[in-house]
Amino acid sequence: MSRIGKQPIPLAQGIEFSIGADNVITIKGQKGSSSLHIHPEISVEQNENEIVVTRSNDSKEQKSLHGLYRSLIFNMVHGVSEGYKKQLEIIGVGYRATFTGDVLELNLGFSHPIFFVPPEGIEIEVDTKTRKNPIINITGTDKELVGQVAAKIRSMRKPEPYKGKGVRYLDEKIRRKAGKSAAK
């Protein structure tokens, strides 16, 4: 069996799990709700306070789908109960970020500001008070969407290796290069 797929998913208090028609599961919690269409060969059942994912046969494809759907359902349960969060740090002279209304405005050293509208289900905050550099907090219930939005914002000005300027994850370490003066 799949090592990941055979593990049951615990359900915390206040989380509702339901299986609808066409193998669509819905999970509702205090942070929101999420739904997922399950492959027909994979079955999902609720036993007391846990969810169990099983497969119909032992083919290679079914084994991989078994672990995949168990991980996706676990991420959904974690998202509607606790949520996901990514933090980005903006480093550079004159690099700024402001969030007004529903638009994130980034000044990243270009001749023009960059405007980013977050997708539905994503909340963005800009913190300029606690640290020297602005911090962008991205939160939501969908792990994939939170990571995708963080990667999209980071790609607008990736950190460069000489001075380290750009948008990076808060815990990211940038490998620095020496530059021209070190070659002498």
Q: Cβ distance 115 to 104 under 8 Å?
A: yes
- The answer on 130 and 109 residing in a single domain is yes
pLDDT for 1 beyond 60: no
Average pLDDT of the chain is 91
> Are both 75 and 98 inside the same structural domain?
no
Q: Is residue 128 part of a domain?
A: yes
Q: Of all residues in the chain, what percent carry a pLDDT higher than 70?
A: 97
Query: What are 32-77's pLDDT values in tens digits?
Result: 899 999 999 899 999 888 999 999 888 888 888 999 999 999 999 9
* Token representation of residue 85: 């969060």
> By residue range, what is the domain housing residue 59?
9-81
**pTM for the predicted model, two decimal places:** 0.88
